[in-house]
Amino acid sequence: MLNWNLRDVLYVSKNSLKYVPKINVRDRHRHKQHSFLDYCLYNFFLRVFWRKVRQQGEDFHMEVAYFRQLRSAVEDFCNEQKKNPVFKRRVFEAEANEFHPDIAINKDLCELMTLNEVDFTNKLKWRQFPNLRP
C-alpha cells in the first residue's frame, strides 16, 4: 500500500511496557468535549485507513503477518548481538520473496536499532552537524 523499503520500517521494540491510564467516565467525556475536532479528525482518518486495508487483497494480510515474524527474528538477532560478543560478526539475512528483495542486517544496523533515544539523537545530530561533536 505504501511501498516502503523493508529496512526503513524494521525496528527493535524498546520501552514498550503496557500501561493503561485509569481515566474515569466523567474525565473521558470532558476530554472528548474539549478535544472534539481532534476526535473528529482521528475518527475520519481511522475510517479511511480501515477502508483502505479492506480494499487490499489477502496478500496484504500475509505481508503484515510476515513482517511481524521477520521483525521479531531481527529483534532477537539484534538483542543477541548486543549481549554476546562472540555473536558480533554474524549477519542476519532474509532471502528475497514476494514481499521484499534480499535483506541483510549487520551489527552496525543492529547497534543503531538498539540505541537509546538520547544516544540515537546525538548520533544524528553529530552526523548532520559534525562541528557540534564533543
Task: Please check whether residues 61 and 111 belong to one and the same domain.
Answer: yes
Q: Does this model's pTM top 0.85? A: no
Count of the separate structural domains present in the chain: 2
Per-residue pLDDT tens for 68-97?
Answer: 999 999 999 998 888 886 766 688 999 988
- How far from the centroid of its chain's Cα atoms is residue 53's Cα? 18
- Distance from C-alpha of 36 to C-alpha of 72, rounded to nearest angstrom: 37
- Distance from C-alpha of 71 to C-alpha of 65, rounded to nearest angstrom: 10
Q: Please check whether residue 8 lies inside any domain of the structure.
A: no
* Residue pair 12/74 in contact by the 8 Å Cβ criterion: yes
Q: Please check whether residue 11 lies inside any domain of the structure.
A: no
As a whole number of Å, the end-to-end CA separation of the chain is 42
- Domain that residue 36 falls in: 23-55
Residue 2 clears pLDDT 70, i.e. is over it: no
Q: How far is CA 71 from CA 24, 74, 76, 91, 114, in A?
A: 36, 5, 9, 15, 13
Per-residue pLDDT tens for 27-44?
Answer: 999 999 999 999 999 999
Mean pLDDT of the chain: 89
Q: At what angle do helices 107-114 and 58-83 cross, to 10 degrees?
A: 90
Task: Please check whether residues 97 and 76 belong to one and the same domain.
Answer: yes
Task: Please check whether residues 31 and 67 belong to one and the same domain.
Answer: no
Q: How far is CA 125 from CA 5, 71, 88, in A?
A: 24, 27, 26
Q: Please check whether residue 1 lies inside any domain of the structure.
A: no
Task: Please check whether residues 96 and 35 belong to one and the same domain.
Answer: no
Q: Please check whether residue 13 lies inside any domain of the structure.
A: no
Q: Please check whether residue 41 lies inside any domain of the structure.
A: yes
* Residue pair 71/103 in contact by the 8 Å Cβ criterion: no
